[in-house]
Homo-oligomer: A and B are copies of this chain.
Amino acid sequence: MRDISDDMRERLRAASVIFAERGFDGTTIEALSETTEVPSSTLYYYFTGKEEILTFLLGDWLERTSAGVENAICGEGSAKERLAAVVTAQLDAMAKDPATCQVLLAELGRIDRLPHVAEAVRAAFHAPVAKLLADGIAYDHFRVVDIENATSMLYGAVIITGLHHVISSHGAVPAFDSTAVADSVMDLVLTGLERV
């Protein structure tokens, strides 16, 4: 993949919407070319193929997401407060770029086969949660739970809830109120369903 100019990066954003609407293999290079107003020969000049375009879009989004999450994880506050900040940052990234995050989740299987993207997902979604759970347990703010399972659960809860709101929003941007959803998620995660 060659260096992508800012102009090109800008035009390519529209490609996420097409991928989200039609799925990866329902999307032809021709459709991407028309939507982005970049001729298909030019697309092939920059990218080795359709999959690399997808990789670029997801990588770009995940990089921005990671930046927000890093920021949240490094902040002040208890593990609990930082976990809330991380979840908010993740949901905020989803709300702000619903098309790309929808593609990411629609193509989970393919992503497993794209090591660069898989690693970026881990860095933006898994790792921060695992770290904060471990911190919270170590400092006695959280109960002792199975970190492996709890990490998967929290990851799943966040992305599926975000996806639900993305799909319900029919393309609005931002797709939902990330703070409100994050509050709802953290409420259940911290306190649980059961009455005390």
CA distance A161 to B146 in the complex (A): 12
Contacts A157-B153, A188-B153, A194-B143 given: A109-B113 contact, CB under 8 Å? no
A2 within 8 A of B: no
**A164 and chain B: residue at smallest CB distance:** B152
Q: Which residues of A, 167-195, contact B by the 8 Å Cβ criterion?
A: 167, 181, 184-185, 187-195
CA distance A155 to B161 in the complex (A): 9
Does the CB pair A194–B193 fall under 8 Å? no
Does the CB pair A149–B190 fall under 8 Å? no
A14 within 8 A of B: no
CA distance A157 to B193 in the complex (A): 14
Q: What's the nearest-Cβ distance from chain B to residue A118, in Å? A: 11
A105 within 8 A of B: yes
Contacts A110-B23, A149-B185, A152-B164 given: A192-B195 contact, CB under 8 Å? no
CA distance A74 to B77 in the complex (A): 45
Contacts A106-B109, A106-B110 given: A149-B184 contact, CB under 8 Å? yes
A38 within 8 A of B: no
B residues in contact with A136, CB < 8 Å: 193
Q: Which residues of A, 134-167, contact B by the 8 Å Cβ criterion?
A: 136, 140-143, 145-146, 148-150, 152-161, 164, 167
- The interface of chain A, by Cβ under 8 A from chain B, is 23-25, 80, 102-103, 105-110, 112-113, 133, 136, 140-143, 145-146, 148-150, 152-161, 164, 167, 181, 184-185, 187-196
6 contacts between A and B (CB under 8 A): A102-B109, A142-B194, A143-B193, A149-B161, A189-B193, A191-B192
